Amino acid sequence: MTSKVILVTGGSGLLGKAVQHVVNSEQLKNVDETWIFLSSKDLDLTNLSATDEYFRDTRPTSVIHLAAKVGGLFDNIGCNVEFFNQNMHINMNVLQCSHKYDVQKVVSCLSTAVFPATAPIPVDESMLHASPPNDFHFGYSYAKRMVDVMNQAYKRQYGRQFTSAIPCNIFGPHDNFAIDKCHVLPSLIHKTYLAKRDGTPLVVLGSGKGLRQFIYSLDLARLFVWVLRNYEEINPIILSVGEADEISIKDAVDVIVETMDFRGPVQYDTSFTDGHMKKTASNKKLMAMVPDFKFTPFKRAMKETVDWFIDNYDSIRK
């Protein structure tokens, strides 16, 4: 009989699927753990009574909390109320039920969007609440910041081991590829696919000059499992590639174009905002704890993602 039951919310999403993949691998499989991957189709986490009933019935001993309302820059700009409200309900319900049913450890997923818009670069964990986040996505950002506030409160009042991890931009198989509602890389992959199919130019919103750190979902999944099993702090930890691995949106476009063998014109529409031009996150704390961790090279990770996208085009979220 297994001794640990680990619940993963957002279990059918980009990172949830990656966690499912890595915990079934020979390297990370643990026979003392039973993993449950929960999707939004299984349960509405904004509903407290339904969430309470689910926790009562499954009795997880640990939770990796990935479920969230997420979207790209332009989706966030127009829907700050919805992003704030839905994420606050989800996060409050998960932590409240985790406390009520004596979950021993919760690892919640935040985002580099939580960091102050005016923070010095690179940002680190100590800057989380220093000043307001970027005005474009303040609803989402404040809801995510409140997870850390709740973690600290549950620790002080009840001694709970609730913590959080802050990844940089994630990409990989099982992403949401809906062009107007997804993040930059899946949007660019889908746009390039359509431009190649239809014989049209590839139009990129913005100048392409903005710099970003991108982490492959399978790498991030391995790090989340490490956090669950080994990280003992309540304060969050940034899970990111290093500053030297930061690339421009244009560089990412070039890799996607090469990977998909797109030979048409690429046009940059500079009437659209670039968002942050640079929002580098420091992975110094992470590397001090796991100095031998190896990240998948961007080109290889992109090829695996594009291959999966093409193979599964008829059934993906788009």
Q: Which residues carry out catalysis?
A: 140
φ, ψ at 5 (rounded to 5°): -120, 115
Q: Could you give the C-alpha distances from 42 to 15, 45, 54, 74, 136, in angstroms and in order?
A: 17, 9, 10, 28, 31
> Taking phi first (over 0 means left), then psi (-120 to 50 degrees means alpha), and beta for anything else, what does residue 31 get?
alpha
Neighbours of 277 (CB within 10 A): 11
State yes or no: cis peptide before 122, omega within 30 of 0: yes
**Cβ burial, residue 297 (10 Å; 0-12/13-18/19+):** exposed
Beta-carbon-side half-sphere exposure of residue 90 (alpha carbons within 13 Å): 25
Kindly state the tokens that stand for 216. 């492959």
Residue 165 to residue 233: CA distance in whole angstroms: 11
Contact 125, 180 (CB under 8 A): no
What's the DSSP call for residue 317? B
